[in-house]
């Protein structure tokens, strides 16, 4: 899948606040998630950072899938010896979504200082708001 590395870099560094080196963004791989994956899109950045995006329909849907999303992201991070895994949740009501899922997220056994959850407004998606498209 073709991806605009500069848009990915702007999103990851600007919106997510990642302090990673610019050189990592010379190598960005992207793929659409399959239905069984549970995520919309995946970005592998510089063979060091894994970012997965998801746009759940509601809080209950995310609460149901969050343990699997974190576990599979963690496992992929470990398998590939990556530095970080960032799960990005796009929501029409980000504050409510974060309040609902954060208590579960922090209790998951895979969560460590290299697993991050970001809950963002749906309109943070760039350049469009279509499901499964962020860049």
User: Which residues of the chain, if any, have pLDDT below 50?
Assistant: 126-135
Choosing among 3.40.1350, 1.10.10, 2.40.400, 3.40.390, the CATH entry for 5-124 is 3.40.1350
Please list the alpha-helical segments (H only) found in the chain: 5-9, 59-79, 94-107
**pLDDT at residue 127 in the model:** 34
**pLDDT at residue 130 in the model:** 38
pLDDT digits (tens, 9 = 90+) for 33-56: 887 888 999 999 999 999 999 999
**pLDDT at residue 99 in the model:** 96
Please list the alpha-helical segments (H only) found in 18-134: 59-79, 94-107
Domain boundaries, the chain: 5-124
Name the residue among 24, 76, 19 with its Cα closest to residue 47: 24
4 sits in the region (left: phi over 0; alpha: psi -120 to 50; else beta) called beta
**pLDDT at residue 129 in the model:** 31
> Which pTM value belongs to this model?
0.90
């Amino acid at each position: 899948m073709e991806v605009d590395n500069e848009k990915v870099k702007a999103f990851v560094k600007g919106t997510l606040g990642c302090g990673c080196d610019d050189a990592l963004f010379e190598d960005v791989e992207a793929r659409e998630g399959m239905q069984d994956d549970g995520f919309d899109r995946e970005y592998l950045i510089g063979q060091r950072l894994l970012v997965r995006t998801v746009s759940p329909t509601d809080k209950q849907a995310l609460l149901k899938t969050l343990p699997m999303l974190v576990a599979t992201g963690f496992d992929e991070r470990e398998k590939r010896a990556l530095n970080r895994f960032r799960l990005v949740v796009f929501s029409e009501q980000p504050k409510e979504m974060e309040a609902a899922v954060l208590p579960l997220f922090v209790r998951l056994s895979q969560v460590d200082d290299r697993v991050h959850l970001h809950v963002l407004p749906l309109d943070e998606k760039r350049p469009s708001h279509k499901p499964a498209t962020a860049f």
